């Protein structure tokens, strides 16, 4: 009859309980390794999640953006500007897209209501802005096709601007001045909010607060009345799907370059691609940390193996006695195998607990979202048990192969 | 009835390049219920003989029948079961496991025999009561006197009702008072029908056995048989 696994577990627990300090020291490497895995996995999951949320808040993964190319050397000629002809041509070449929003920003536009002034960003847009940003007015309406066609003097206020001028009063139908043009307020945008990751450094609690200071007017009104002669330097496009966005990006690059006389004055970026790149770089990051964790686990495993070997040398006589009273080799093997695995599993549990504690502290400190999921705990535990199984074999084989007579003679 | 029978038992050891013959052809028969003392000077081979009789070791040649079974031909893996069921060891240095209570120590052979925890606990308690240690069940071996420890060792040896009881200098580490108590226990066990084989240096101890077997240079010295 073999000694049952429950019996071996019982022996193992008792053995560890009588050698508490040694067991704890033995397992330090495993604790640190498992903790490292936990923390890295949680940080990565948190990063991925908040990046995804951020992207979705900014127009989703189907977004493709044509914008000023900072890397282009403008001394070589060319100007990053589309006129209305360019835009019409561009739009006609990509009929498959869901939304097309060229825009011009005036960064420091002066608005006045009665005797109050307020300087903020004013953007000339197409109605598709709403689809692109997934952002709609709270009150009234947005810019429409008629406004574009007829160069209407209408304005849609950002929630912060409306608050500044009108407080609790209704802004709809009121007139405000924008660069000496009388503009009629037709709508107020809903408030944008995204919980900030970076604390004060990134503009306080709401990472999107700057958007609430934007006012919108028709693109045609901007070009023809407010800022005459200005041209479009940014186009936001929404493709049918994130996958289509990548194709669209590839299709747009040569078209845009051709429109700009072959000069790379614009860059074309797809959110999906950025997301993939970000995931890729976070994969590299995680690979490095997992490697560090793996090395620390390997070292931890070797330490455990050596301590177990030493422990078996010390307990040779005990093994001899057990053999003399009828323990089989397999009983001895299982006894030490179970003990090693118990120690490493214990280390894994400590590592998980420590990892959680650190996540809490680090998460609070960095104000970074960290996601600890059940599968991470499972992974960490499986890894520590695996280490025990691998590095427990050599000591257990050595113990099981002891000759009873020699073992009994050992002092 | 013969419980032990050896014929031409030989044991060689390889010490580096030198071959040492520890047993040189032992023919020994012990009947069930005997109390046999095995004597001999150091290096005579009596310990080797004990190890083979106790199935801790195997002879280089010759046959060993235990309870009618030819155990000298069994593989090492089968010997563990024989030791567990048929042999009870009592050592000079007690060899109790220091981290276990005496109850757990006595339970060990039953655990390796695959007996359920409840049953073996009850049995171990009974056996410990029979050697007068009921009030010490939870104590660790180092909390007991030498005589008490040896009584625990005896309890552990007999708990699985073995065919033979093998004692290797069981009184060697005890004062004469405690040694006398231990010998009385062996005599009680013998009187109850157990087969006892005891290795000893002490002629006074040997004198109380039914029969003394003298080992010299790996052989039985028939000239010196006493009793």
A76 contact partners, CB below 8 Å, separation of at least 6? A263
Cα(A343)–Cα(A396) distance, integer angstroms? 14
Decide if pLDDT at A124 tops 90: yes
Whether A51 and A66 share a structural domain? no
Q: Measuring CA to CA, how many Å separate A397 from each of A26, A111, A404?
A: 19, 84, 14
At A289 the pLDDT is 80
Choose between A15 and A202: higher pLDDT: A15
Residue B75 lies in a domain: no
At A373 the pLDDT is 75
Token couple for A49? 């999640």
Q: B166 has which bridge partners?
A: B89, B197
Whether A215 and A360 share a structural domain? no
Whether A265 and A331 share a structural domain? no
User: Closest by alpha carbon to B167, among B179, B176, B154?
Assistant: B154
Decide if pLDDT at A202 tops 60: no
At A154 the pLDDT is 96
Give the one of B77, B80, B100 whose C-beta lies nearest to A326's C-beta: B80
Residue B11 lies in a domain: no
Residue B135 lies in a domain: yes
Q: How many domains, chain B?
A: 1
At A200 the pLDDT is 54
Residue of B nearest to A328 (CA): B80
At A2 the pLDDT is 54
Whether A143 and A179 share a structural domain? yes
Which residues of chain A have a CB within 8 Å of the CB of B57?
404-405
The region of weakest confidence among A24-33, A137-146, A197-206, A249-258 is A197-206
Q: Which of A271, A287, A321 is the last residue of a domain?
A: A271
Inter-chain touch B85–A325, beta carbons under 8 Å = no
CATH of the domain at B208: 3.40.50.300
Q: Which range marks the domain in which residue A87 is found?
A: 61-271
Whether A252 and A150 share a structural domain? yes
Report ipTM (2 d.p.).
0.94
At B54 the pLDDT is 95
Whether A382 and A266 share a structural domain? no
Choose between A7 and A314: higher pLDDT: A314
Decide if pLDDT at A59 tops 80: no
* Segment A297-312, tens digit of pLDDT: 898 899 899 989 988 9
Token couple for A25? 């020291």
Choose between A288 and A390: higher pLDDT: A390
Å between A54 CA and nearest CA of chain B: 59
At A1 the pLDDT is 43
Whether A339 and A397 share a structural domain? yes
Which residues of chain A have a CB within 8 Å of the CB of B83?
323-326
Decide if pLDDT at A84 tops 70: yes
Q: Which range marks the domain in which residue B129 is found?
A: 33-45+81-224
Å between B68 CA and nearest CA of chain A: 20
Whether A195 and A294 share a structural domain? no
Query: Does B162 reach chain A within 8 Å, measured CB to CB?
Result: no
* Segment B3-40, tens digit of pLDDT: 999 999 999 988 888 888 999 999 999 999 999 999 99
Inter-chain touch A324–B85, beta carbons under 8 Å = no
Percent of the residues in chain A that have a pLDDT greater than 90, as a whole number: 36
Q: Kindly list the strands in the beta sheet with B18-31, ordered across the sheet, starting from the edge strand earlier in the chain.
A: B18-31, B2-15, B61-66, B69-70
At B227 the pLDDT is 43
Decide if pLDDT at A5 tops 80: no
Inter-chain touch A324–B81, beta carbons under 8 Å = no
Q: How many domains, chain A?
A: 2
Token couple for A185? 């307020």
Q: Which of A229, A247, A271 is the last residue of a domain?
A: A271
Give the pLDDT band (50/70/90) at residue B130. very high
Whether A49 and A66 share a structural domain? no
Cα(A392)–Cα(A385) distance, integer angstroms? 10
Residue of B nearest to A2 (CA): B114
Residue B106 lies in a domain: yes
Which residues of chain A have a CB within 8 Å of the CB of B11?
none
Whether A258 and A284 share a structural domain? no
Choose between A17 and B142: higher pLDDT: B142
Give the one of A7, A328, A404 whose C-beta lies nearest to B111's C-beta: A7
Q: Which of A247, A271, A295 is the last residue of a domain?
A: A271
Inter-chain touch A328–B156, beta carbons under 8 Å = no
Inter-chain touch B77–A408, beta carbons under 8 Å = no
Å between B223 CA and nearest CA of chain A: 30
Which residues of chain B have a CB within 8 Å of the CB of A408?
56, 91, 95
Decide if pLDDT at A343 tops 70: yes
Cα(A213)–Cα(A37) distance, integer angstroms? 42
At A72 the pLDDT is 86
Query: Does A318 reach chain B within 8 Å, measured CB to CB?
Result: yes
Å between B227 CA and nearest CA of chain A: 31
SS3 category, A185 = strand
Give the pLDDT band (50/70/90) at residue B56. very high
Whether A238 and A295 share a structural domain? no
At A168 the pLDDT is 87
The region of weakest confidence among A217-221, A291-295, B38-42 is A291-295
Report which listed range, A81-90, A363-372, B90-99, is most confident: B90-99
Compute the mean pLDDT over every residue in chain B, rounded to the nearest whole number.
Answer: 92
Residue of A nearest to B58 (CA): A405
């Amino acid at each position: 009859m073999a000694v049952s696994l429950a019996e071996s577990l019982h022996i193992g627990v008792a053995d560890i309980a009588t050698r508490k300090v040694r067991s704890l020291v033995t397992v330090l490497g495993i604790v640190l390794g498992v903790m490292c895995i936990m923390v890295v996995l949680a940080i990565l999951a948190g990063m991925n999640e908040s990046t995804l949320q951020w992207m979705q808040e900014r127009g989703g993964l189907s977004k493709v953006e044509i914008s000023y190319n900072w890397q282009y050397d403008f001394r070589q000629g060319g100007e990053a500007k589309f006129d209305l002809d360019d835009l019409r041509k561009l739009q006609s070449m990509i009929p498959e897209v869901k939304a097309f929003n060229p825009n011009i920003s005036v960064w420091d536009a002066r608005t006045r209501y009665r005797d109050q002034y307020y300087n903020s960003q004013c953007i000339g847009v197409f109605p598709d802005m709403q689809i692109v940003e997934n952002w709609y007015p709270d009150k009234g309406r947005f810019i429409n096709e008629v406004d574009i066609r007829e160069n209407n003097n209408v304005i849609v206020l950002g929630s912060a601007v409306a608050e500044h001028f009108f407080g609790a009063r209704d802004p709809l139908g009121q007139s405000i001045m924008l660069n000496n043009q009388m503009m009629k307020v037709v709508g107020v945008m809903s408030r944008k909010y995204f919980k900030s990751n970076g604390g004060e450094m990134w503009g306080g609690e709401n990472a999107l607060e700057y958007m609430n200071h934007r006012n919108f007017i028709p693109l045609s009104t901007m070009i023809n009345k407010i800022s005459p002669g200005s041209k479009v330097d940014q186009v936001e496009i929404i493709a049918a799907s994130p996958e289509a966005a990548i194709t669209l990006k590839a299709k747009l690059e040569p078209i845009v370059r051709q429109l700009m006389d072959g000069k790379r004055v614009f860059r074309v970026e797809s959110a999906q691609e950025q997301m993939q790149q970000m995931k890729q770089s976070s994969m590299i990051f995680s690979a490095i940390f997992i490697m560090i964790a793996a090395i620390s686990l390997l070292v931890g495993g070797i330490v455990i193996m050596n301590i177990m070997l030493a422990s078996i040398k010390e307990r040779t006589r005990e093994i001899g006695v057990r053999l003399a009273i009828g323990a089989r080799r397999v009983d001895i093997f299982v006894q030490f195998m179970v003990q090693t695995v118990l120690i490493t599993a214990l280390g894994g549990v400590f590592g998980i607990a420590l990892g959680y504690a650190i996540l809490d502290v680090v998460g609070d400190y960095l104000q970074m979202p960290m996601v600890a999921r059940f599968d991470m705990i499972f992974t960490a535990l499986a890894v520590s048990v695996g280490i025990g199984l691998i590095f427990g074999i050599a000591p257990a084989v050595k113990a099981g192969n002891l000759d009873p007579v020699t073992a009994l003679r050992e002092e | 009835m013969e419980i032990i029978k050896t014929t031409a038992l030989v044991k060689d050891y390889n010490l580096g390049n030198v071959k040492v013959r520890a047993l040189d052809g032992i023919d020994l028969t012990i009947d069930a219920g005997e109390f046999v003392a095995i004597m001999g000077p150091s290096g005579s081979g009596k310990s080797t003989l004990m190890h083979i009789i106790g199935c801790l070791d195997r002879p280089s040649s010759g046959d060993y029948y235990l309870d009618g079974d030819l155990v000298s031909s069994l593989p090492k893996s089968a010997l563990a079961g024989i030791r567990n069921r048929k042999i009870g060891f009592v050592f000079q240095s007690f060899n109790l496991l220091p981290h276990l209570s005496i109850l757990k120590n006595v339970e060990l052979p039953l655990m390796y025999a695959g007996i359920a925890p409840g049953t073996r606990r009850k049995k171990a308690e009974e056996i410990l009561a029979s050697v007068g240690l009921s009030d010490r069940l939870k104590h660790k071996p180092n909390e007991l006197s030498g005589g008490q420890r040896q009584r625990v060792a005896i309890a552990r040896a007999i708990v699985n009702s073995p065919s033979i009881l093998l004692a290797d200098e069981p009184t060697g580490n005890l004062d004469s008072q405690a040694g006398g108590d231990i010998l009385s226990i062996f005599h009680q066990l013998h009187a109850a029908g157990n087969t006892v084989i005891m290795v000893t240096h002490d002629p006074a101890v040997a004198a109380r056995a039914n029969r003394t077997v003298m080992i010299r240079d790996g052989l039985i010295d028939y000239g010196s048989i006493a009793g």
